[in-house]
Amino acid sequence: MPLPELPAVVVIRDVGPRDGLQPEQPVSVADRVRLIEALVAAGVRRIEAAAFVSPKAVPAMVGAAELMALVPRSSVVRYSALVPNVRGAQLALETDVDELTVTISLSETYNQRNVHRSTEDSALEIEKICRLAGEVPVDAVISCAFGSPYEGDLPPRQAAALANRLRESGCAAITCADTTGMATPRRIEDVLARVGNDVGLHLHDTRGTALVNAFAAMQLGVDRFDTSVGGLGGSPFASGAAGNLATEELVAMLDDVRVVTGIDVDGLVNAAALASELVGRPVPSRVALAGPRDRLSEAP
């Protein structure tokens, strides 16, 4: 059977240095820079590098400004930073950041637990951040876009309404996040039918469906994904939530179906090995463990 029509090129933003390491024991700025250097060497061109958050609330992200001053610079590499509020945006904009990311949850309960404010208050804060950011683009990540661990399924029309509001507030991009791994291909289709396919997806592998959800989304025209080297990450505010879709797993699959990413799988496996060293345990990525399938020809 012929493969379904897929995008010719997929853009990948690796969020491992921020989202992947944020729930871990703190890793030094120097080592986080080493991980970013490994990702750049593998060909990753969009990286969420840091979060400008309270060091008391998120000790793993201490030193964001120092890190942004040390990352390797290139005309083709773009760095984003997560900001939770106007103060965080001010600090990020004092560095050479290329993009701001903000989060807001479709789930009221999750939003309260994550940022200690209502979804409405988060929307108002994002509007202020967009005004402050000026020419620096803001990507709004809608958490729990495919279901909440607290409220269960949420109407796709609710996701569409929030996405439209964020666009009207000045957000240059929208990313729909499956924060706790509740998405399925059917749910992906239902939400995209309302929100549109001009969004990015941020997928977690809690129930082992992240890769198939990405493939389903690509069949619907989505060509932008957040992933994390080694499959690191996971929300501390939802019991059982697993890590992100591993960058090397998505790239390995896309290589096989001839979708261009510009990223080298072997380089990603090396970066995942470094990530494993930094967090002091094996990473969950299966490709990081087994290697890409073309290595089978090297087996004795």
45 lies in a domain? yes
Q: The whole model's pTM is what?
A: 0.95
Show Cβ contacts of residue 149 under 8 Å, excluding neighbours closer than 6 positions.
107, 110, 180, 182, 238, 239, 241
User: Would you mind telling me the total number of residues written for the chain in this entry?
Assistant: 300
Over residues 66-98, the pLDDT tens digits come to 999 999 999 999 999 999 999 999 999 999 999
6 lies in a domain? no
How would residue 296 be classed by pLDDT, with cut points 50, 70 and 90?
low
The C-alpha atoms of residue 143 and residue 275 are separated, in whole angstroms, by: 25
pLDDT given at position 277 = 98
Report CA-CA distances (Å) from 205 to 39, 178, 200, 243. Answer: 21, 9, 16, 6
Residue with token string 């990020």:
92
Cα 14 to its chain centre, rounded Å, is: 6
Identify any residues that bridge with 300 across adjacent strands, giving them in sequence order: none
Q: Given a cut of 50, is residue 162 above it in pLDDT?
A: yes
How would residue 241 be classed by pLDDT, with cut points 50, 70 and 90?
low
Number of domains in the chain: 1
pLDDT given at position 239 = 57
The C-alpha atoms of residue 86 and residue 57 are separated, in whole angstroms, by: 16
The C-alpha atoms of residue 250 and residue 203 are separated, in whole angstroms, by: 11
Range of the domain at 136: 11-293
CATH number, position 117: 3.20.20.70
How would residue 292 be classed by pLDDT, with cut points 50, 70 and 90?
confident
Under a CB-based contact definition with an 8 Å cutoff, are residues 245 and 211 in contact? yes
Mean pLDDT rounded to a whole number for the chain: 94
Q: Given a cut of 60, is residue 38 above it in pLDDT?
A: yes
140 lies in a domain? yes
pLDDT given at position 300 = 45
Identify any residues that bridge with 178 across adjacent strands, giving them in sequence order: 203
58 lies in a domain? yes
Over residues 195-217, the pLDDT tens digits come to 999 999 999 998 999 999 999 99
1 lies in a domain? no
The arithmetic mean of pLDDT across residues 30-48, rounded, is 98
59-68, 134-143, 236-245: range with lowest mean pLDDT: 236-245
144 lies in a domain? yes
196 lies in a domain? yes
pLDDT given at position 299 = 45
99 lies in a domain? yes
